[in-house]
Amino acid sequence: MIIINEKQKHQIGELLNGKVILVTGGTGSFGKQFIKTVLDSFPMVRKVIIYSRDELKQYEMQNAFRAYAEKLRFFIGDVRDKDRLALAMRGVDIVVHAAALKQVPAAEYNPMECIKTNISGAENIIETSLFCGVKKVIALSTDKAANPINLYGATKLCSDKLLTAANNLSGDLPTRFAVVRYGNVAGSRGSVVPFFRKLIADGAEFLPITDFEMTRFWITLPEGVAFVLLSLVRMHGGETFVPRIPSIKIVDLAKAMAPHLPQQEIGIRPGEKIHEIMCPRDDYMHTLEFDSFFIIKPTISVSCHNFNTTMLGEEGKPVAPYFEYNSFNNPHYLSVEEIAQLDGVI
């Protein structure tokens, strides 16, 4: 479990004190949880800007977040639109880039749209952050970016490489870029949990399983938010942060949600893997192991930083030769009972 201790909370508070934060894709599952957590736990933040393209979601979020209205600003805009991004980023200190097209089958059938948002959008984030003097940019990635076999994963890998290399563009500017990579978010919009939940509510006779052997990394929204906040403080610039999180078997998830329903294997979807990877074997020589997370160092020279020590003072060490961190070989699996106990998921 990813928990922010009191010392870390103080260090995050020092970073956020008086700062203006912009969250792309701020009306999504992560964005809403991130913003609520920041405003509840770090009231010294000066302002949070929600940048997204859906006016209805912004309207709904304004109503739901009325208690925070004094510190919230809403910008309708698309990460594809660099001019609009530049307007939104004036005076911004920290950017959390969560906007993406992330549905795997949709990306397979609409590759150009995915490329425009995930790759061209990342390029626009980089250029406008540099232009506007943003101090820190942290981008959300995905386990599908590790050894990608689908278009979505490939675009996120490209985005990650762009953000890593962007640290070489900063020069004497203060802007630094880093990436956070993690697995399936329990209960997020578009994930398997709400899909199963709807089938159960509609009286389905069985739950469809794409493959009975399928495993996934599993993280809750609050844990994802906590890890991003910690990574903002830990980052030098150029790192990919990977949390140590449990795996689940999809058949166990189905059993936890509907023990009374049979399961039926239906075959994997376009671009889908049986198991996911977060630290590929081919990157083992760049991977550092910490107590609760990994850092994948940039493969190119981006700075003279010692990535073995984070800005929080945590010490890491190289992983063993040919190390790979995937959802199948992960030593920590959640049992059916543990999955059922996850707050807000089942």
Does the pLDDT of residue 344 top 90, yes or no? no
Q: For position 313, what pLDDT does the model report?
A: 94
Is 102 a member of any domain? yes
Q: For position 143, what pLDDT does the model report?
A: 96
Q: For position 252, what pLDDT does the model report?
A: 96
**Tally of structural domains, the chain:** 1
Q: For position 343, what pLDDT does the model report?
A: 54
Does the pLDDT of residue 148 top 70, yes or no? yes
Q: What is the DSSP letter of 318?
A: E
3-state class (DSSP) for residue 149: coil
d(CA 68, CA 244): 32
Is 254 a member of any domain? no
The pLDDT tens digits for 333-342 are 999 999 988 7
144 is catalytic: yes
Q: Quick check: 161 and 136 in contact, CB under 8 A?
A: no
pLDDT band at 346 (very low <50, low <70, confident <90, very high): low
Beta bridge partners of 185: 219
pLDDT band at 185 (very low <50, low <70, confident <90, very high): confident
**Which is the catalytic residue, given 102, 144, 249, 273?**
144
Q: For position 98, what pLDDT does the model report?
A: 97
Which residues are CB-contacts of 329 (< 8 A; sequence separation ≥ 6)? none
Region of residue 187 (phi > 0: left; psi between -120 and 50: alpha; otherwise: beta): left
Give Cα 294 distance to the centre of its chain.
15
Is 346 a member of any domain? no
Does the pLDDT of residue 183 top 90, yes or no? no
Q: Quick check: 138 and 237 in contact, CB under 8 A?
A: no
Express as a percent the part of the chain with pLDDT over 90. Answer: 89
Element (H, E) at 139: strand 136-140
The pLDDT tens digits for 54-111 are 999 999 999 999 999 999 999 999 999 999 999 999 999 999 999 999 999 999 999 9
pLDDT band at 311 (very low <50, low <70, confident <90, very high): very high
- Print the domain residue range for 228: 6-184+218-244+281-320
pLDDT band at 271 (very low <50, low <70, confident <90, very high): confident
**CATH number, domain with residue 29:** 3.40.50.720
Is 335 a member of any domain? no
Is 271 a member of any domain? no
Is 1 a member of any domain? no
> Please, what is the average pLDDT of the chain?
95
Q: For position 261, what pLDDT does the model report?
A: 96
Is 71 a member of any domain? yes
The pLDDT tens digits for 17-56 are 999 999 999 999 999 999 999 999 999 999 999 999 999 9
Q: pTM of the predicted model, to two decimals?
A: 0.95
Q: For position 120, what pLDDT does the model report?
A: 98
The pLDDT tens digits for 247-265 are 999 999 999 999 999 999 9
Express as a percent the part of the chain with pLDDT over 70. Answer: 98
Q: For position 290, what pLDDT does the model report?
A: 98
The pLDDT tens digits for 194-217 are 899 999 999 999 999 999 999 999
Closest to 49 measured CA to CA, from 70, 74, 67, 30: 74
The pLDDT tens digits for 2-17 are 999 999 999 999 999 9
